[in-house]
A and B are shown apart, each in its own frame.
Chain A
Amino acid sequence: MRISLTVAATAMLLAMTVAAQAQETEIESLRTAIEELRADYDARIAELEQRLAAAEQSVATTNAETRTVTSAGISRSAAFNPAIGVIFQGQAWNYSEEPDDYVVQGFPYGGEAGPVSEGLGLGETELIMNANVDDKFTAWLTAVLALEDGESVIEIEEAWVEATALPAGFGARFGRFFSELGYLNTRHSHTWDFTDQPLPYQAFLGGQYLDNGVQMRWLAPTDLYVEVGAEWFEGSRYPAAGSANSGYGSHTLFAKFGGDIGTSSSWLAGLSYLDGKAVDRPSGDEDEPLLFSGDSTLANAQFVWKWAPNGNWKQKNLVIQSEYFWRQEDGAYTVEGAAPALYNVDQEGWYVQAVYQPVPRWRVGGRVDGLSTDDPGALFDGTLLAAPEDDPMRYSLMLDWSNSEFSRLRLQFTRDEAGPSDGTEWGLQYIHSIGAHGAHAF
């Protein structure tokens, strides 16, 4: 009995102690909770007071456009899907020689190459739409609205889908797109530093090489930028033609390298190669075209160097870039009505340009571009394919003014020693954009 009493007493004591401890813990936790609540309320009240003060202040400010909105409210009104942008371009262009007769001896132009239209004219109006398709794909459309002989035409310049979820640094694109061949080839016309493309782009790529196809690329996991890739195209566009090889008519390989030198300079260098099959590829005169069938291979080396003091691009910057092209065409040319004549020549083309922005808004630039070719032989004497006496060359100067990132006015002057007779051309160009505007590549 005594023992059990002691046990009971001990048990009770223990229970009480535990209970008391539990109570204390509970009280402590309640206290903490209250403290937390109080702190939380204090914080919230402080925040509300701050917001009230802010609201009062913003009401007081006459600046009506400045107000505080929660971020959730904004994204609803400002986020568009897809992002849409329109680019307006046009020019007034003047020639000392008749541009309708313009040809470059030895280099019959194909594709969309050719001089800027004379007088007042409308350039390409680009309609750009892009958005993520889902978590694994993104898509881009560039439709070009243009006037051709007074008729409005819509041309699909780019319509591609890109896989964004590939592992290990791989990227893939399919659809219609500008080839990664060369440096300028992927640039939209509104980002060009001069109104027209340099001579090798005109002569070798019909202005710019774009086609329907697929692209694979890989970026190395290194501090030095190393990108390699390959593309397969239908081969329907100059310098390929006729969708040879059952519609797998051309392919490219490219490798790019780049990095920084200090904080002020950065560079990009690359090598690329295009192997195109041409079947009855038209070039030269539109009504009586020269038709080429055979292989057109093109190799390119590019180098771009950009400089801005401390890397502060907005105030002052300089870009120097150059590309060199080697082309070999091996096949046969047919002039309408005549028998095909074997044609096997090596050609070269190049340009060097520098663009300097001394102060915000203003840029000045110079460019020299040229071509050279082997003589294709006596069979071609007297035709547009015969080698010219002097290598075609041009010298251009430009000055442009950009009120903002979205508007640009340009004055360009070119001395042309590539056409039938040496001449000068000059003009004014405008490039304006509205809506969403994608980030520009290096």
Chain B
Amino acid sequence: MSRKALALLIALMPVPTLADLNVFACEPEWAALANAIGGPYVTTYSATTALQDPHYIQARPSLIAKVRRADLVICSGAELEIGWLPNLLQKANNRDVLPGNEGYLEASRYVTRLDATGNVDRAGGDIHPQGNPHIQTNPHNIAAVAEPLGQRMMALDPENGGVYEANLADFLAQWRQSIEAWEAKAEPLKGTRVITHHKSWVYLERWLGIEEVANLEAVPGLPPTATHLSKLTKQFVSGGADFIVRSPYQDARPSAWLSEKTGIPDLLLPLTIGGTDEAQDLYTLFDDILDRLLQAKDRD
């Protein structure tokens, strides 16, 4: 065979496309998880960043275009994205990723949801009757979501199923080791009392035995009010809390104000990947959360 013919043959051969699965994740943690399982065989896109409040996202044209081409949509659920995701799904004309189909995965279905009141009275604020949706702050929940996510990826892309299965097993093994290490490291945090801006950290608190003594938001989802903050000042001016915790997308002023008035240190914690410079992936996310808490505890 002449060299030319060979070159032509090579050119005509089907090029193995590496990315076989398009994953649309509502939050960065699920995009990272899909990447850990899929490696080069998936293309992931996160609809939100750590600097955005995932409750309030515009159903932007760019997001609709991404959902249109997605093979799998994975979101925290429990109504976290209720203000925008339904609109994306309705407009994207992609039947494969509608709820009820293989291509739609609601992560919070696979964990034990906390604070599920079943109460839908909005006098209590913008609450989630199906439970607190910020499930990613407990690494056990990440592991609990990894398995069904891996299963879905195998079902949607059986050709690379073996790779996903092996990667999932590797990830879970490594993740369990990390959890052990984190739990050992976090021992001194047990019994720490925190004031949080929003109820974003209940899963972390339950995991590490941290006690949440108050929220800056008087009513969940509504911005902190001056009356509520001055009430908290009176309540905590003589102690009763170790830190005031805030996530990157939340207004820094209320926690800084309360910190100044009470002397309780305020602390920024990454709620997801990208929330701080250190939190670059799932592992460093928890490393950084614990580092920041422990450093603050040491200073205390």
Contact = CB atoms under 8 A, between A and B. Distances in A.
Interface of A: 51, 54, 65-71, 73-75, 77-78, 135, 138, 162, 164-167, 169-171, 217-227, 256-260, 263, 266-268, 306, 308, 310-315, 360-361, 403-406, 434, 438-442
Contacts of B61: 225, 256-259, 266-268, 442
Interface of B: 48-49, 51-53, 55-62, 64-66, 68-69, 82-88, 90-95, 98, 100, 108-109, 112-120, 122, 124-126, 129-131, 206, 221-223, 249, 251
Nearest to A263: B49
A257 B100 CA distance: 29
B58 A442 contact: yes
Given A218-B93, A439-B82, 17 more contacts: A66-B117, A70-B112, A74-B129, A74-B130, A78-B129, A138-B90, A167-B95, A220-B68, A221-B68, A227-B91, A258-B65, A310-B49, A311-B49, A311-B51, A315-B53, A404-B122, A442-B87
Contacts of A170: 93
10 closest cross-chain pairs (CB), A and B? A258-B61, A225-B61, A439-B87, A314-B56, A310-B51, A171-B93, A439-B86, A225-B65, A69-B116, A78-B129
Contacts of A171: 91, 93
A440 B87 contact: yes
Nearest to A136: B95
Contacts of A167: 95
Contacts of B57: 311, 313
A75 B120 CA distance: 12
Contacts of B249: 310, 312, 314-315
Contacts of B48: 311
Majority secondary structure, B binding face: loop
A220 B69 CA distance: 9
Contact of A74 (B83, B100, B131): B131
Contact of B83 (A267, A311, A439): A439
Given A74-B130, A314-B55, A403 B112 contact: no
Nearest to B119: A65
B62 A225 contact: yes
A78 B118 CA distance: 6
Interface centre among A74, A224, A306, A404 (most CB of B within 10 A): A74
8 contacts: A68-B113, A266-B60, A405-B126, A434-B122, A438-B86, A439-B83, A439-B84, A439-B87
A406 B61 CA distance: 24
A69 B48 CA distance: 28
A212 B98 CA distance: 27
